[in-house]
């Protein structure tokens, strides 16, 4: 079968996740909890056959992926196509600050308007196209193998929606936990969901929303 197995992982926790501050494409490092999560994740994947590890080039994802690479012995490759959604002027702001200063933009964000983009940022339609294109490009290189993709909450959300046929505006009923293990199958026909949000390797991990990614 012309298929590639994908382990998709959101980066470990950052201080901005805790503060509900929008990171977007700003380069924020893991906090102590995030580094612990990355190590636990790496140990959980130690026995997995991994043929390649691809990561967003942003620090929080790259450091998470580095922990996996150190355990599995696979080289880490970064790809800008796996970056979080660009949130433009909203990056660096907390949810409460956005509600107070940009109420109209906050409303369109909450409503998941697929064509709305914050000034200097990306729309959901743009993000979906970028992520699906990147995931397909990388998976096509490894037919018959298993790869790890380390990215962000917004990326995980797009992958889940693509694998389950969920519309961009559909209310989310799935989780986007930091350092959770998500499993997908890629073929030239698209993505299929195998397993989602396995956090057994994390004792007390708190699941966060992509809006703090």
Q: Which residues are catalytic?
A: 11, 84
Closest to 20 (Cα-Cα) out of 212, 197, 213, 171: 212
According to DSSP, the β-strands at 190-198 and 181-187 are antiparallel
Task: Tell me the torsion sign for CA atoms 160, 162, 166, 169.
Answer: positive
Number of alpha carbons in the 13 Å side-chain half-sphere of residue 183: 10
**Residue 6 and residue 181 in contact, taking contact as beta carbons nearer than 8 Å:** no
């Amino acid at each position: 079968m012309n298929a590639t197995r994908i382990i998709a992982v959101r980066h470990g926790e950052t201080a901005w996740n805790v503060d509900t501050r929008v990171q977007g494409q700003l380069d924020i490092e893991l906090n102590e909890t995030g580094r612990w999560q990355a190590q636990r994740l790496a140990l959980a994947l130690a026995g997995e056959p991994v043929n390649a590890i691809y990561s967003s080039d942003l620090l929080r994802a790259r450091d998470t992926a580095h922990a996996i690479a150190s355990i599995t012995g696979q080289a880490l490759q970064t790809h800008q196509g796996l970056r979080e959604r660009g949130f433009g002027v909203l990056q660096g702001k907390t949810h409460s600050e956005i509600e107070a200063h940009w109420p109209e933009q906050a409303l369109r964000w909450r409503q998941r308007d697929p064509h709305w983009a914050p000034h200097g940022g990306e729309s959901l339609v743009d993000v979906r196209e970028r992520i699906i294109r990147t995931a397909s490009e990388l998976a096509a290189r490894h037919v018959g193998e298993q790869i790890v993709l380390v990215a962000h909450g917004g990326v995980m959300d797009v992958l889940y929606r693509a694998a389950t046929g969920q519309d961009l505006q559909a209310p989310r009923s799935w989780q986007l936990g930091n350092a959770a293990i998500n499993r997908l199958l890629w073929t030239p026909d698209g993505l299929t969901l195998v397993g989602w949000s396995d956090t057994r390797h994390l004792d007390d991990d708190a699941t966060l929303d992509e809006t703090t990614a």
